[in-house]
């Protein structure tokens, strides 16, 4: 079984490499009709990283799922192609391509290190409360004077010398570990419901964790002006609570709390109100507040079904396109077909993550796999939903695709954790020849 999965993974990585290299060459050929001179280093980075990841999985997680690494590599490579393309545009910030290549290398190093160090995913259950404290500490780190920085209106950055990073990207992993461990310990207690008229609702005395998660998400949104992380963490806890207890009433309570929190935030805080106003009517201020969203909509409309072609669009007109609106850039140049392919890639990752959760026999691994999958899938949903104006803009990045070192590192660690859970959940084959020799 392990050889079949790993060979399938290698074949999918080869196909992903063909797509990425073809996209890179098309983007470069559109400009001067010559094969780019830097195709060698590009191939070395793309092929080298994929081979390193494959060898690490084959060596340290041979029974793991064979779809996750190729799909993540395809998304990362496609995002890198567009970041190179944006980096070469006149009004794009210089050096993005080189930095993204560096972060991709570091992300793969973090991926391999996680697989090597973490031999059993259930080891994390022992450190659930430590993970909870680390997660809360990372969330609050941007509020520390002298460390935290406000960029683009959100105080979610920390500066250590020349390095800027978002600790919230790593906090989500720590909190997923904590929530999974906490709910394994308390799922029976939290599953107790009381009849309230025709409805079955959770016992009020057991709603404390829900209320704490709700309050913490509000604190993040208020103090750090980070709508995306606030929504992501609260959704993570509610989904895990529902899966652990199998009580749909927690979804009802969580939805009601979300509605109350959203109404309160919109009515009391100007930055939340501004996001909602832009979402509802970007034409009210098309040259300033609504400019980014409108330019993204124009770009996607201009792409049509098949797109304008790589390097033939003008996505550089969109402010901060390399992070918040890279999906709009992809849609403009690859059209509805390219955008649908990106969406399907995320759907496949979510499906693979949920399949891993269903197959594992251990409660902690199951909840952790669901939590990690929820983080990845819901983050992609809320950023793509913001770009297409289904939801207000939240400011999170598109996993593996957008420019950003913190996001890339955290998501590669997340990917390694899912592969480790998948590997641990598969029954090991026994060499009967060696067993007979030992008995004899």
Mean pLDDT to the nearest integer, 355-370: 92
Residue-wise pLDDT tens digits, 402-411:
988 888 999 9
Residue 93's pLDDT is 47
Mean pLDDT to the nearest integer, 9-20: 90
Residue-wise pLDDT tens digits, 25-38:
887 765 555 555 56
Residue 204's pLDDT is 67
Residue 200's pLDDT is 64
| Local confidence band at 371 (pLDDT 50, 70, 90 cut-offs) | very high
Lowest-confidence region among 107-121, 336-350, 426-440: 426-440
Around Cβ 195, how many Cβ atoms within 10 Å?
8
Distance CA 150, CA 166 (A): 11
Measured in whole angstroms, the distance separating CA 258 from the mean position of its chain's CA atoms is 21
Residue 185's pLDDT is 82
Residue 412's pLDDT is 95
Percentage of the chain beyond pLDDT 70 is 86
The answer on pLDDT for 234 being more than 80 is yes
Closest of 322, 354, 334, 331 to residue 422, by C-alpha = 354
Element (H, E) at 386: helix 363-387
Mean pLDDT to the nearest integer, 214-228: 72
The answer on pLDDT for 347 being more than 90 is yes
The answer on pLDDT for 160 being more than 80 is no
Distances (CA, A) of 437 to 1, 24, 419, 432: 24, 55, 33, 9
Q: What is the pTM of this model?
A: 0.89
Residue 182's pLDDT is 86
Residue 435's pLDDT is 35
User: What is the residue-averaged pLDDT of the chain?
Assistant: 83
Distance CA 179, CA 209 (A): 10
Distance CA 1, CA 16 (A): 22
Query: Would you state the structure tokens that stand for residue 47, as one six-digit string?
Result: 């092929």
Residue-wise pLDDT tens digits, 100-118:
888 899 999 999 999 999 9
The answer on pLDDT for 434 being more than 50 is no
Residue 163's pLDDT is 72
Task: List b or e across 67-83, with b for residues whose CB sees 16 or more CB atoms inside 10 angstroms.
Answer: bbbbbbbbbbbbbbbbb
Residue-wise pLDDT tens digits, 44-88:
777 888 899 999 999 999 889 989 999 999 999 999 989 888 877
Query: Would you state the structure tokens that stand for residue 54, as one six-digit string?
Result: 């494959």
Beta-carbon contacts of residue 440 (< 8 Å; ≥ 6 apart): none
Distance CA 425, CA 427 (A): 7
Around Cβ 102, how many Cβ atoms within 10 Å?
13
């Amino acid at each position: 079984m392990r050889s079949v999965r790993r060979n399938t993974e290698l074949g999918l990585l080869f196909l992903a490499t063909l797509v990425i290299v073809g996209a890179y060459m098309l983007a470069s050929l559109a400009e001067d009709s010559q094969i780019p001179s830097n195709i060698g280093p590009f191939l070395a980075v793309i092929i080298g990283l994929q081979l390193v990841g494959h060898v690490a999985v084959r060596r340290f997680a041979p029974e793991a799922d064979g779809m996750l690494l190729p799909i993540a590599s395809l998304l990362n490579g496609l995002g890198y192609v567009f970041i190179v393309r944006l980096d070469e545009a006149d009004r794009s910030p210089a050096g993005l391509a080189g930095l993204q290549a560096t972060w991709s290398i570091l992300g793969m190093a973090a991926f391999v290190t996680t697989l090597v160090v973490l031999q059993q995913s259930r080891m994390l259950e022992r450190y659930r409360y430590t993970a909870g404290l680390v997660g809360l500490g990372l969330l609050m780190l941007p509020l520390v004077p002298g460390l935290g920085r406000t960029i683009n209106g959100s105080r979610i950055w920390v500066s250590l010398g020349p390095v800027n990073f978002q600790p919230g990207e790593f906090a989500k992993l720590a909190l997923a570990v904590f929530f999974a461990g906490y709910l394994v310990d308390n799922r029976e207690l939290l599953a107790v419901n009381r009849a309230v008229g025709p409805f079955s609702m959770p016992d009020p005395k057991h709603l404390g964790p829900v209320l704490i998660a709700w309050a913490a998400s509000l604190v993040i949104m208020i103090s750090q002006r980070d709508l995306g992380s606030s929504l992501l963490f609260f959704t993570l806890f509610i989904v895990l609570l529902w899966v652990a207890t199998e009580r749909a009433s927690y979804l009802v309570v969580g939805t009601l709390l979300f509605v109350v929190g959203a109404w309160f935030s919109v009515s009391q805080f100007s930055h939340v109100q501004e996001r909602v106003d832009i979402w509802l009517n970007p034409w009210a201020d098309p040259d300033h507040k609504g400019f980014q969203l409108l330019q993204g909509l124009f770009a996607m409309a201009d792409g049509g079904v098949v797109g304008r072609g790589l390097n033939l669009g003008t996505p550089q007109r969109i402010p901060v396109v390399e992070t918040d609106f890279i999906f709009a850039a992809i849609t403009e140049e690859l059209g509805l077909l390219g955008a649908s392919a990106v969406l399907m890639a995320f759907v496949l990752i979510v499906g693979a993550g949920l399949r891993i959760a269903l197959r594992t026999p251990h409660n902690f691994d199951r909840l952790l796999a669901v939590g990690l999958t929820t983080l990845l899938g819901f983050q992609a949903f809320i950023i793509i939903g913001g770009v297409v104006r289904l939801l207000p803009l939240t400011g999170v990045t598109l996993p593996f695709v957008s420019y950003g070192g913190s996001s890339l590192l955290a998501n590669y660690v997340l990917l390694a954790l899912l592969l480790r859970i998948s590997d641990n959940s598969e029954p090991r084959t026994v060499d009967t020849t060696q067993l007979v020799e030992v008995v004899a």
